[in-house]
Structure 1
């Protein structure tokens, strides 16, 4: 390949380096060793009949085999479809069918996940392209398909011819999904590797000084992007096979980690395990995604204990770590989603959802992005791709935000934003006011149609005693505009949630359905 190619292989750098690039469960893997693993895996894939354009589904926890398979597929012109280890039969079947995967590389077992039982719930006729399973950690698992052992690192296979087209699809992420099932987001070596280099450059990563705790799953863009960015920098990456707070705390403390990325809940759990006032003095950046209510309070506590949280932005389509706050930003700005694009070639604009015109700075609308990190399209779905891209090449994110100086602020998903009284309102604004009220431990707000008018409905989790709706309403009327005051406030003991590759998220669609059911019952 040419020296200027933005390939995945180019991220490895010199194969003569003996410094560890990855550390799995205390075992270091040098660049030279990893490069050998990639070569062995390339030969193994070819021996399984995988070639240009073929799809390999990878259903593994964070392990070196996962990354070797991705880099090896790139050499062959093959495609990796990332399978979330939290998926169950219907979700796995949907991904396998949509991707047309010929080979599924799967864990033999991991903790309480029974992979064989999940596969037993999938009919062979549902996934007609699937021909074979390759098992990591065992010779075979009970299955309807023939099984081979993933033995690329143990057994020599004949070398395979490689290709050098860096613009072919190489990795498929799943979107968070709709009622019709998630789409597959296709990225090439160019989009992945160029963004990895942009991340390393924007964060000013040093091979000698910096290190990463990788505690997010590789199957999602949040985990993969942070991993590739640090590989590009040459810095060492300490990997958790799956997130647990106790081993994360141990690595952060003992390995003098400087960077980590995760959900707000991950950092909350880590902090809860230690009483040390400032347990991680070496930490420089902890990029976090705010999936749970109370993230502002968490950020303030973390800041006081020396764990610096930075808001960021990303999606499967433009990749995670698309942007991040800067150390010089005011604390209130630094913890908000959005920030400054990593790539100097990225462009962000905001479009008014009512008029269709570009919005002025400070005015909320739909975020649109043009960047080298942008996806190729939705795999085998040209109609969805066409709908998602503007005529001049910007991705319609479906997210609401506003421009602030040279940066931007992410406010909410477009489906979650509420147009109340003619104004676009982020639920978090009202939720924060509710959480400041006595008796409210947590709050979620959604919009519903009430007698032909858009109104918001709140669900609150009580603290010690249940708050009274009239008292909450009276306080809100003193604090926010009348059109933002919820028409109903319901007390619940928990919110409906769903697991994703990057963390637990509130199911606002279910909250809206709950609101309509309760109003109808009245």
Structure 2
């Protein structure tokens, strides 16, 4: 049982500082007591329900961590939902997974078939209880945590994890990266995202490290102040955080305790990485993991590593052969079991030998994983995974739009951006389709660049003419 592992770890560290945000902090002893109290509240809300399903959709906070532990202690299965999910996405998750409760912030768009109940009020968090759904899919017998990833059908895939897989992800990360009780982690990535969930939550508790949670826009000033105030030795965030930091004066003297910086596997501009290292002397490590298999690599020496690092303990990788790139395949102790809401889709990517076929193309160079491309239509913008099919289909349903294609391009700064080409009349205002998306999808799924054409250019087989589409954004300053 995952909660047994967590409780044992938490109780081993007594009065040492455990978790803090900008407003509050708890020692390990206080975290254990607070989660005990909240678990009783959860149980009172769900009388008679078997293995209740509790969604948590909120920003990083002490209250989030207390709620996560409380849900596990109450014998429930937590479903970690991206805070940025829009109303339609939250509704789809409720329909597909049959949540019993959703713990959320007051501003979260909640599906209509719920009744608000204020029993589990923890700081900024509220609770909505849903009617019992008898047609929901059955959980795997050993599932203890569920997380989400973009699905190829335009619906978020719900990944089921055994407790052992969650534990091994955290333990192998701590072991493989040298995390210890003397470390302090400042994490700006959302705890629902693998970058944070695998590197900064249970891994910190296993060794007795301090977890400091950043929230809101990670401006250079906010990050610098929190680094100094927390004496953090590790910084975890998406590429945009580091791009913000290097745009202002930055030096090693300003960050006296920082020893390691970790970014997501989203492409980090090499110039940004080099500027950060030159100014601070702190290695900036690209984290590589996938939602279905957990953390996978870490560079022993990120200053000289040619790629994303070597396999972590409990991880096996293979990619390409004879010097040629190929599909990256992975087998790990932290692998998920299946998708709750997409039968056989997960299993279809796992071979007879237990290796999961990812959507990445790459090769191994002196033991380090070097990625060279992707095989799917999932786009990675600043660490956020975006299903191009989902956004295209939503745009095609906007008034005045006949067809739509979504793709990744470089903006005028050379940074990856989400772009859309819309087949519509030339006088269509792009603000209309954007408002249409905003009512349905998360803000990060709204294209920042839009081009309107009479018809989408396609090949004779009907496939979008990718090269022609990308050329439309060569001069992004003139794109709406």
Query: What is the TM-score normalised by the length of structure 1?
Result: 0.67
CA RMSD of aligned residues (A): 4.0
Q: Does 1:284 align with 2:207?
A: no
Distance 1:291 1:140, change over 3 A: closer
| 1:216 aligned to which of 183, 186, 189 | 189
Q: Distance in 2 between matches of 1:231 and 1:139?
A: 23
The verdict on how the C-alpha distance between 1:239 and 1:86 changes in structure 2, with shifts beyond 3 A counting, is: same
1:257 lines up with 2:232 in the alignment: yes
Q: Answer 1 or 2: higher relative contact order, Cα 8 Å, separation at least 6.
A: 2
Which residue does the alignment assign to 1:496? 419
Contact kept? 1:8, 1:192, Cα under 8 Å? no
- CA 97–459 in structure 1, closer or farther in 2 if over 3 Å, else same: closer
What's the CA shift for 1:171?
2.0
Q: Please report how far the alpha carbon of residue 413 of structure 1 lies from its aligned counterpart in structure 2 after TM superposition.
A: 2.2
**Contact 2:331/2:355 (8 A) holds in 1:** yes
| Residues 1:10 and 1:187: Cα distance change in structure 2 (over 3 Å) | farther
Residue of structure 2 aligned with 1:35, choices 27, 32, 52 = 32
CA contact (8 A) 1:63 1:241 kept: yes
Cα shift readout 1:447-486 (whole Å, capped 9, x = no counterpart): xxxxxxxxxx9966557xxxxxxxxxxxxxxxxxxxxxxx
**Residues 341-398 of structure 1: CA distance to partner in whole angstroms, max 9, x if unpaired?**
222x221112xxxxxxxx4263211111111110121114331122121112111112
Indicate how the Cα distance of structure 1 residues 10 and 349 shifts in structure 2: closer, same or farther if over 3 A, else same. Answer: farther
1:366-381 matches, within 5 Å, as 366-381=327-342
SS at match of 2:254: coil
Does residue 79 of the first structure (1) align with residue 52 of the second (2)?
Answer: no
Residue 290 of structure 2 is aligned to residue 315 of structure 1: yes
Q: TM-score, normalised by structure 2?
A: 0.73
Distance 1:376 1:181 in 2: 18
- Choose the corresponding residue for 2:311, options 317, 334, 341: 341
The Cα of 1:77 is off from its aligned counterpart by: 3.4
Asked whether the 8 Å contact 2:293–2:336 carries over to 1, the reply is yes
Query: How far apart are the structure 1 equivalents of 2:199 and 2:300?
Result: 17
Choose from 68, 71, 80 the match for 1:70.
68
- CA shift digits 1:241-291 (9 cap, x unpaired): 334223221011233221112211111112324354753243221111253
Q: Output the CA distance in 2 between the equivalents of 1:38 and 1:101.
A: 21
CA distance in 1, matches of 2:170, 2:262: 15
Contact 1:58/1:80, CA 8 A, preserved across alignment: yes
| Residues 140-198 of structure 1 deviation map (CA, whole Å, 9 limit, x = unaligned) | 9899979xxxxxxxxxxxxxxxxxxx973222211123343121111122111122111
Q: Does 1:270 align with 2:245?
A: yes
**Mapping 1:69-148, distance limit 5 Å:** 69-108=67-106, 114-115=107-108, 118-119=109-110, 122-124=111-113, 133-134=117-118, 136=121
- Distance in 2 separating the partners of 1:176 and 1:508: 21
SS where residue 41 of structure 1 aligns? helix
Deviation digits for residues 66-94 of structure 1 (CA, Å, limit 9, x no counterpart): 22232233334321111222111111111
Aligned twin of 2:135: none
> 2:357 — aligned with what?
396
The answer to whether the Cα contact below 8 Å between 2:361 and 2:375 also exists between their aligned partners in 1 is yes
Partner SS, residue 367 of structure 1 = strand
Query: In structure 2, how many angstroms separate the alpha carbons of the residues matched to 1:55 and 1:273?
Result: 44
Q: Distance in 1 between matches of 2:370 and 2:442?
A: 23
Partner of 2:369: 408
How far has the Cα of 1:107 moved from its partner? Answer: 1.2
Q: Give the corresponding residue for 1:365.
A: 326
2:344 match: secondary structure: helix
1:299 aligns with 2:269: no
Question: SS state of the match for residue 199, structure 1?
Answer: helix
Q: Determine if contact 1:217/1:242 at 8 Å carries over to the other structure.
A: no
CA contact (8 A) 2:195 2:264 kept: no
1:53 is displaced (CA, Å) by 2.2
Relative distance call for 1:404 and 1:506 in structure 2 (3 A) is farther
Cα 1:79/1:142, change in 2 over 3 Å = closer
Structure 1 pair 314/47, CA: closer, same or farther in 2 (3 Å)? same
Distance apart, 1:240 and its partner CA? 1.4
In structure 2, what is the Cα distance between the partners aligned to 1:222 and 1:268? Answer: 18
Cα gap change, 1:392/1:254 in structure 2, threshold over 3 Å: closer, same or farther? Answer: same
1:195 and 2:118 aligned: no
Structure 1 residue 52: Cα displacement:
4.3
Contact 2:104-2:127 at 8 Å conserved across structures: no
Deviations, residues 18-48 of structure 1 (Å, cap 9, x unaligned): 0101112153311111111221122111111
Q: CA deviation at 1:414?
A: 1.7
Per-residue CA shift, 1:195-232, capped at 9, x if unaligned? 21111111222213x11101111121111112221222
Count of aligned pairs:
402
Note if contact 1:217-1:501 (Cα within 8 Å) is conserved in structure 2: no
Work out which of the residue numbers 3, 20, 42 in structure 2 matches 1:45. 42
Contact 1:105/1:133, CA 8 A, preserved across alignment: no
Which structure has the larger Rg? 1
Distance 1:176 1:94 in 2: 12
2:433 aligned partner: none
Distance in 2 separating the partners of 1:132 and 1:461: 43
Please tell me whether the aligned partners of residues 216 and 502 of structure 1 are also in contact (alpha carbons under 8 angstroms). Answer: no
Deviation at 1:304, TM superposition (A): 0.6
In 1, Cα distance between equivalents of 2:157 and 2:97? 10
Aligned to 1:241: 215
